[in-house]
Structure formats: structure tokens, C-alpha cells
Chains A and B, each alone.
Chain A
Amino acid sequence: MGRACLWQVDFMILLKNISKIYPPNIAAVRDVHLHIRPGEFVSIVGQSGTGKSTLAKMLYAEERPTKGKIEVGGWDITHIKNSDVPLLRRQIGVVFQDFKLLPRKTVFENVSFALEVSGATNKRIKEVVPQVLKIVNLHEKGHRYPGQLSGGEQQRVSVARALVHRPKILVADEPTGNLDTFNTQEIMELLKKINEFGTTVVLVTHNREVVNALRKRVITLSDGEIVSDVEEGRYKL
């Protein structure tokens, strides 16, 4: 079904003439062309309601494009079958503003849950979970519950969970939206670290300082269209 090895392709993410029209007639994304190479760190910015989240959702197949073509790691996911979506989700880690942690599970359990439900062996779970908790620097707080963590720590748990499948892509939709400056910086450092390990990062954000400090590629959306796409860009609106 055309799933090439993710590291052998020129483009990790490839959008051709992508449009998304929500019923009845809301054009959230219009005719977007976008190529993202493996290992890139791309920020997507734009005002509220300009289709940033919709674009992100099409990457992890939460939404299907109305028009155009999407490839992820050489795999055409434009019309991906529902039964193939889990395979895609094991190759794309996703992080949200609201963390989506399970309050009645510990940090360790929240992270291992992702492996458990996708059929990993117990051996692998014992191996991987401490590793990713170490990456996000929470290996000593594995027994805590989300309610006993700061917002930044909770977001780090959700990043850890997004990493358990060793994804080639990490999509972060306003990961710092709920965080103060200090925790925002911590998360950004973490995302940069993950990107340095070779993971392609797609960051959707509103945060001017974050984007300016990054000095990476910035794509600006307005009204569902790309209005600028700059290497080492700055937040401008």
C-alpha cells in the first residue's frame, strides 16, 4: 500500500493543492502547497481560525482533504482507510494544548498506555518508557499523577507519550498555549532536542517570542492560504 521507508524520501511531508471544506461551506484550508523535508522544524503561524489546526489534522488523518493530495513519508494518505489510520498514528506523534493525559493513570502508565494499546510487548514497554521519560526529564516522577505535576511537566508527559513509537514526525498543535513563559521555554527546548535527534517537527503556534527565538522555517497562514513561507523566519502579522 505504498508505505516507503520514512527516511529514504526527499520529502517527509508533501501537500499538493490541498483544500479542506467543512460542511456546509466553510473553506478552512485553500489550495495549500507545502513540502517539508526530513529533519526540518517548521512553525505554522496565523490568526485564529485560519486553518492551522485543520492542516495539522490532515497530517495525522483526523480529517481528510476535500481536494488535493497528501503524502507522509512517501505514503499517500489522501484517502487513507480508517483501518490504516492506526499505522499512520504510530509514525506521527501528536501533542496538543490540553495535553490529553489520563488523570487516573500515573505518568509512567500514561506513557506506557500508548504502547500497550498498540500491541507492544511488555519487554518493549519496560525498555522504551524509561527511555522517553528520560528524554523529557521526568524519569524520577513516573509514579506521580498528572494532577501532581506543573503544566510544563504535564506537557512533557504528553511529548513523552508522543515519542514512544519513535515517530519520524512530531505534530504539536499549540503545545505551549496553556503554559507560562518559563514552561514554554522548557517545552521549546525539548522540541528542539527531539528535532536534533532527527525527528521532523511541525509546530502550530500563536506565540511570537517562540517563533522569533527559534530561527527556523515559518509558514504563515491567512484565511486558509499560505501567505508566506520563510527559512529562518520571524513572526509577522
Chain B
Amino acid sequence: MTTVFRAVKFALQNFIRNLWLSLITVSMMMFTLLTINMVVMLNLVADNAISYVENKVEVSVYFKEGVSEERVATAASYLRSLAQVQDVRTVTPEQALERFKERHKRDEKILASLDEVGKNPFGPTLVVKAKDPSGFPFILESLDHPQFKNDIREKDFDNFEALIGQIRNTVSQVRLFGIGLSVIFLFLALLVVVNTVRMGIFIHREEIGVMRLVGASSTFIRAPFLIEAVLYTVLAVALTAAITLPIISVLDPKLAVLFEGTPGGLIGVFQKEGWKLLLGEAVILSLVSMAATAFAMRRYLKI
């Protein structure tokens, strides 16, 4: 126990006597972790953004004026029976008009032509949500069935497929960049660790010489360097958390709409899952930097 305590004490002394390099090491590790966290957050936000958009996708089926409610109901129950359909809502002509105006509010031509008509041109309307956007073409086609075709005036389908594709594309590029950046940072961090250990060995060559002379075990001589590696990691993780949290709280209100279905929003996700991420990072980075330290000691510490 005393031995462990002393090894920790020596590690802290190493850290302080080599403060400048220690801080550089911690910062490099922190940059690595920050980049990784950015990638993780980007993934999270992108996933939510995509499912947000996907949830918004609906097919509106506008029936002709005067089509009986019975026929509309038949169509609705037919649609509900399809595997691709998640939900069918019935909308009255008045609501349908509102919806249409809302959807095309930026399209003056359409609105103008609507005014020209003068009265509500809509009949009853069905709003269909698909389980998956890829189901839409099938749903649309199925409505071309002669049984319904003549009752239907128009089918209106906001195609977000292109938008989703764009999001996916951008995200995967940014993600690739982020992963590349993390790998580079990690590599640099490990180089810095090796160099810091080398400097530490150099600075402490007298002590190490005396230690060997008076019968310190090589484990005891090595342990402080390994403990130092863990110390760097823990500090880096703590700093990363300290930087990530405010960023998240700034982003949270801006991204609130994407996290509607998640209790606590982005902050909630972080509170629930963040410690796992940080703990995982701490464990893995500790191990990797201890390996780098062991490598440096093999090379530069002759005992």
C-alpha cells in the first residue's frame, strides 16, 4: 500500500517537474477526445435529423368534391391494411384547404389559382404516414387502382428523399473527416506521450540511477510512468467533459426540435449516455497511452 502511494507520489512529482510537456500531452489527448466526441454528437444529431424528416413525410390524398364519406372510409381502411402504412388520418375539406395553403405558402402561383377558384376546391382528404419513406412509391401506386382512381383528384407527396440523401451524404463526409482527424490527433498524442516519457526518463536519470543502486525493483521504477499516463488520460477526459458540457447546453435549445421524442433532449441523452462514452474513452485511452509509455520505457529506460 505504501508502495502504491509512493508510486503515485512520484508520478505526481514527474508530472509537475515536467509540467510543460505534461500539459502538452494532456491537451493533445483532449483534442483527440473532443474530436471523437464531435463525431459522436454529429452522428447522434444526424440520426435524429433524418428520423425527424422521415417522420414529417406524408402523402396527402385529396378526394374530389362530393365523394361520399363511405368511399373515403373504404380507401382509408384499404390503406391501413398495407404493410407500408403506419397511420392514416382523415381530414375534413376545411382542414385540407388549410393544410394545402400551409404547404404551398411559398408558391404564389398555386395560391393565386386557389383564390381564383373562390371556394374550397377540396373534398375530404386522407393523410398517410408511411413506416418508411421507401414505402411511398408503393402507396402512391396502389391508389392508382381503378377502384379509387376516379374519386381522387390529386395526390400530393413531399419528396424528402433527396433532402435525406443530402443529409446522409454531408454527414458521412463530415464523419469521415472527423474520424480521420481523431486518428491523426490520437497518433500525435501517442507520439507526445512517448516523447514526454523519454523526457521524464532523461530528467530523472539521476534518481533512476540511485534507485537501481539502492535496490528499487524495476516495477517500482516503471510504475510512476504508467501511473502518469493514466493521470494524463483522466485529466484529458475531465477537461473534455468540461468543454463538451457547455457546448451541449448551447446546442440543446437549437436542436430541441430534433430531440422531441427524447426525454431531456440532447442534454438528457448526454446525462444518460455521456458517462459511458467518457468512461469508455478514459479506459481505452489509458490503455493505449500506457502501451505507448511501456514502449518508450523499453526504448529509453535501461534497467
The interface residues of chain A, by DSSP majority, are classed as: helix
CA distance A122 to B303 in the complex (A): 26
Chain B proximity mask over A78-117: 1 for CB below 8 Å, otherwise 0: 0000110111111000100000101000000000011011
Among the listed A94, A117, A121, which residue makes an inter-chain contact with B216, where contact means beta carbons less than 8 Å apart? A117
A87: chain B residues at CB < 8 Å are 215
Asked if B209 contacts A86 (CB within 8 A), the reply is no
Asked if A116 contacts B206 (CB within 8 A), the reply is no
Q: How large is the interface on B (under 10, 10 to 19, 20 to 34, 35 or more residues)?
A: 10 to 19
Among the listed B214, B216, B217, which residue makes an inter-chain contact with A161, where contact means beta carbons less than 8 Å apart? B214
CA distance A165 to B206 in the complex (A): 20
Shortest CB distance B301–A (Å): 12
The 7 closest A-B pairs by CB, nearest first: A89-B215, A117-B216, A114-B214, A90-B215, A86-B215, A118-B215, A86-B217
Shortest CB distance B76–A (Å): 81
B207: chain A residues at CB < 8 Å are 102, 113
User: Does B2 reach chain A (CB closer than 8 Å)?
Assistant: yes
CA distance A185 to B46 in the complex (A): 82
Could you jot down 19 A-B contacts, CB within 8 Å? A82-B303, A86-B216, A86-B218, A89-B215, A90-B214, A100-B206, A100-B209, A100-B213, A102-B206, A102-B210, A113-B207, A113-B210, A114-B210, A117-B220, A117-B221, A118-B220, A119-B2, A161-B214, A165-B214
Asked if A164 contacts B2 (CB within 8 A), the reply is no
CA distance A162 to B213 in the complex (A): 9
Asked if A122 contacts B214 (CB within 8 A), the reply is no
User: Does B113 reach chain A (CB closer than 8 Å)?
Assistant: no
User: Does B245 reach chain A (CB closer than 8 Å)?
Assistant: no
CA distance A86 to B3 in the complex (A): 15
Shortest CB distance B29–A (Å): 29
Shortest CB distance B6–A (Å): 6
CA distance A70 to B215 in the complex (A): 19
| Contact A118 to B214, CB < 8 A, known contacts A100-B209, A102-B206 | yes
Among the listed A82, A83, A121, A164, which residue makes an inter-chain contact with B214, where contact means beta carbons less than 8 Å apart? A164
Asked if A89 contacts B212 (CB within 8 A), the reply is yes
Asked if B3 contacts A119 (CB within 8 A), the reply is yes
B303: chain A residues at CB < 8 Å are 82
Given contacts A82-B218, A102-B207, A119-B217, 19 further A-B contacts (CB under 8 A): A82-B303, A85-B212, A86-B215, A86-B216, A86-B217, A86-B218, A89-B213, A100-B206, A100-B209, A113-B210, A114-B210, A114-B214, A114-B215, A117-B216, A117-B220, A118-B214, A118-B215, A118-B220, A121-B2
- B:255-271 near A, CB below 8 Å: none
Q: Which of B207, B209, B210, B214 has the most CB of A within 10 A?
A: B214
Q: Which of A83, A87, A88, A116 has the most CB of B within 10 A?
A: A116
User: Does B211 reach chain A (CB closer than 8 Å)?
Assistant: yes
CA distance A113 to B220 in the complex (A): 13
Shortest CB distance A10–B (Å): 25
CA distance A219 to B278 in the complex (A): 66
Asked if B2 contacts A117 (CB within 8 A), the reply is no
- A:142-195 near B, CB below 8 Å: 161-162, 164-165
